[in-house]
Amino acid sequence: MEEIRDRKEAKEVLDFIKNNDNFSIFYHLDSDGIISAVILSEAIEKLGKSVYAFRVSNYEDFEKGIDMSYFSDNVILCDMQPTKDFIERLSSRKLCVIDHHEVIDQGSSVYINPKMWGDNTYTPCSLLMYKLFDDIVPELDWVAAIGLIGDSGGKVNGSFIKGVAKKYSVKLKDDEYLSDNDFGLASNMINSMTLEYGRSGAEEAVGIIKSSNSLKGLLENHRLISASTNANKELGLLREYFENRKELYDELVYFLDVDPTKKRYSSTLITPVSLEKGYYGKIIVFMTKINSHTLRVNIRANGVNIKLPQVLRETFKNIRGTGGGHDMAAAAAIRPQDENKFKSLFLEEAKKNINQNSEIRHP
């Protein structure tokens, strides 16, 4: 099969770097985004160019609007779909987007996303980034493995993980997502930096990974160790809270209202919970009030034959809100007063969507 590097979109990304300089790298604030920014910046530096600024982002950040005066003219966005507003805000600058979410209209920006050419294999941005630059930074394969597992990509990309694990003598276990190992541990430690220290923690993590020469060195970093110790304590408490307060609707969807002060932990906890025995095959929905006009909704549907972005699109025909993501992992924002309406509409649309999908598979 054709390598990603040989595609015209990949060549356009490389040209974007070769023809410009002083890049501002915007990246998603999870370990996949952080790792993507690390691989990209190392490649940029190897090509003799410079990174002007790093900027960790999330969609709430896009909604608020970013003061662009701190950033250079050449912007690269990793592991996020740019919003229309973001593209407009960047109109006087050059934008390159490297992403793996749903394909959307990118305007005139340089854009690469495997889904553009119909490759719907789940390819976290870390792996996409590594495949773009593996001739320039081949030594970063172990770094890519961390971000890939962080985005639950170990199941689909098992051969990549197994190859890297063998090369560095990392012991793998037989869990489905290949996350119960030192790569997964490193990914959790990186996410802990964001959990404990927010935006600046993510930025610090980029620096720590860039200066680590090995997986062992990264795992022994004191800053990462103390962040993950604290985070694990909080996650344990929230896990207990979920067990006590979850609400099951129609044997299909577990809803949980999360305390706003725990919102950072809830988006971390939801993925491992959804992979646990009792919850795999169900839909998990965490709802957190962010402010007086926004309720954030995190959704996981591991082991469910569903397309969450479609479910959300249908739901938002009848209620105000925005959302999207992957088939089995999505997020949305609604108005706090619509919480109950959302629950019942989402439940109905989810049931319809599962039925539609099973009809496609078994005509």
Helices (H), the chain: 8-19, 31-46, 59-64, 84-89, 125-133, 141-150, 158-167, 182-210, 215-219, 222-245, 263-275, 308-315, 339-361
* Residue 32 lies near Mn ion (rule: CB under 5 A): yes
Give the residue among 28, 22, 89 at the shortest CA–CA distance from 58: 28
Find the farthest-apart pair of alpha carbons in the chain and give their distance in angstroms, rounded.
58
User: 43 or 354: whose CB is closer to Mn ion?
Assistant: 43
Hey, which residues between 53 and 92 contact Mn ion (CB under 5 A)? 79
The reply to whether 151 sits near Mn ion by the rule CB under 5 A is: yes
Candidates 4, 38, 40, 125; binder of Mn ion (CB under 5 A) is 125
Residue carrying the six token digits 């997964």 = 184
Shortest approach of Mn ion to residue 237 CB, angstroms?
Answer: 27
Minimum distance from residue 263 beta carbon to Mn ion (Å): 19
**82 or 124, CB closer to Mn ion?**
124
Cα-to-chain-centroid distance, residue 145: 14
Q: Which stretch binds Mn ion (CB under 5 A): 32-40, 51-59, 174-182, 251-259?
A: 32-40
CA separation, residue 98 to residues 37, 103, 110, 297, 334 (Å): 10, 11, 9, 25, 28
Part of the chain binding Mn ion (CB under 5 A), chosen from 38-46, 119-127, 296-304, 331-339? 119-127
Nearer to Mn ion, 33 or 255 (CB): 33
Q: State the nearest-atom distance from the C-beta of 99 to Mn ion, in Å.
A: 8
Binding track, positions 282-321, relative to Mn ion; x by CB under 5 A: ----------------------------------------
DSSP 134: T
Cα(34)–Cα(48) distance, integer angstroms: 21
Of 4-12, 125-133, 159-167, 192-200, which part binds Mn ion (CB under 5 A)? Answer: 125-133
What is the contact surface with Mn ion in residues (CB under 5 A)?
32, 79, 124-125, 151
